[in-house]
């Protein structure tokens, strides 16, 4: 089974519209021509989605929101609807990022609503899961991952599962410079795939792309991507630098 690699850049709460467009241009130029073994996705802040989206139309780079609401429209101050993301040219939305879970107290229940709503209205979820340092140290990693996978994907049909991407992001590795070792990441990815195989069936688990996130940088992307169950990366800090992200996109195994 060969899964197409996905390299995703999460720009978080950074960049003006002009800066975002400059970076988007660098990303477009960094995608190797004719490379059909990998896809590139960028998630600018909401304010830059429309302008960046226009730039990506004739490129091979895909666009993502950093979050998405479950409702079509309505009184949801501060939220963004799936149709609004699509209107800007986005195909994906990051959901359940640890910063949403930890700082903004988004629960598994809310994340599940976001995943369901995204799929209902045609946006592919990039569902983020991962354990904290305390959970890893108390050997709860697998329990946490299983709980988050099951809660986030509850009731999702096998058909819709083809549109889902999962990102394993150990909270202790995000923005800290500490990357999970390739063995730790591979072990977690295998476990996640096993949970999916039990919930659905093996072929669906085999097709699911599982990204690793947490201090991915030019120096560690190749070894991470050499692992059989690591299908891509969700990159924060290093995605804000055109040259670093270009190197990550052009990983070699
Ligand atoms: P980082 O962030 O690469 O800066 O660790 C990753 C993420 O939060 O998705």
pTM over 0.95: yes
Q: Which atom of ligand 1 is nearest to the CA of 94?
A: 9
How much is the pLDDT for 87?
Answer: 98
Is the CB of residue 251 less than 8 Å from the CB of residue 7? Answer: yes
Q: What are the C-alpha distances in Å from 216 to residues 42, 77, 212, 213, 245?
A: 15, 33, 8, 6, 10
Residue whose CB lies within 8 A of the most ligand 1 atoms, among 14, 185, 216, for a mutation test: 216
pLDDT tens for each residue of the chain, 253 residues long: 689 999 999 999 999 999 999 999 999 999 988 889 999 999 999 999 999 999 999 999 999 999 999 999 999 999 999 999 999 999 999 999 999 999 999 999 999 999 999 999 999 999 999 999 999 999 999 999 999 999 999 999 999 999 999 999 999 999 888 889 999 999 999 999 999 999 999 999 999 999 999 999 999 999 999 999 999 999 999 999 999 999 999 999 9
How much is the pLDDT for 1?
Answer: 60
Closest CA to 6 of 92, 99, 116, 129: 92
Residue nearest to atom 1 of ligand 1 (CA): 236
CA–centroid distance for 117 within its chain:
17
Greatest pairwise CA separation for the chain in angstroms: 48
How much is the pLDDT for 179?
Answer: 86
C-alpha 249 to ligand 1 mean position (Å): 15
C-alpha 221 to ligand 1 mean position (Å): 13
Q: Catalytic: 189?
A: no
For residues 233 and 198, what is the distance between their CA atoms, to the nearest angstrom?
24
Residue nearest to atom 7 of ligand 1 (CA): 236
Residue nearest to atom 3 of ligand 1 (CA): 236
| Pocket of ligand 1 contains residue 39 by CB under 6 Å | no
Q: What are the C-alpha distances in Å from 38 to residues 116, 191, 207, 241?
A: 26, 23, 14, 20
Q: Catalytic: 112?
A: no
Which of 92, 97, 112, 189 is an active site residue? 97
Q: DSSP character for 180? A: P
Residue whose CB lies within 8 A of the most ligand 1 atoms, among 234, 240, 241, 245, for a mutation test: 234
- Which run of H or E residues covers position 73? none
- Six-digit token pair at 199? 């919930």
How much is the pLDDT for 35?
Answer: 81
Residue nearest to atom 2 of ligand 1 (CA): 236
Q: Which atom of ligand 1 is nearest to the CA of 10?
A: 9
């Amino acid at each position: 089974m060969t899964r197409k690699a996905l390299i995703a850049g999460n720009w978080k709460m950074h960049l003006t519209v002009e800066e975002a467009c400059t970076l988007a241009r660098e990303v477009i130029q960094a995608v190797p021509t004719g490379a059909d073994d990998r896809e590139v996705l960028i998630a600018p802040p909401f304010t830059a989605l429309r302008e960046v989206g226009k730039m990506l139309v004739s490129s091979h780079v895909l666009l993502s929101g950093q979050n998405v609401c479950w409702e079509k429209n309505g009184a949801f101050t501060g939220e963004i609807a799936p149709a609004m993301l699509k209107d800007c040219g986005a195909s994906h939305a990051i959901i359940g990022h640890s910063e949403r879970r930890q700082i903004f107290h988004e629960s598994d229940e809310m994340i599940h609503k976001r995943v369901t709503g995204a799929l209902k209205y045609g946006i592919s979820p990039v569902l983020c899961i991962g354990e904290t340092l305390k959970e890893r140290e108390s050997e709860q990693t697998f329990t946490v991952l299983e709980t988050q996978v099951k809660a986030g994907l509850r009731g999702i049909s096998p058909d819709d599962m083809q549109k889902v991407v999962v990102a394993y992001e150990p909270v202790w590795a995000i923005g800290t410079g500490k990357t999970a070792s390739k063995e730790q990441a591979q072990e977690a990815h295998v476990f996640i795939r096993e949970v999916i195989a039990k919930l659905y069936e093996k072929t669906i688990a085999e097709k699911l792309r599982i990204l690793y996130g947490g201090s991915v940088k030019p120096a560690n992307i190749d070894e991470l991507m050499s692992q059989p169950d690591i299908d891509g990366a969700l990159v924060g800090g290093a995605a804000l630098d055109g040259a670093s992200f270009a190197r990550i996109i052009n990983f070699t195994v």
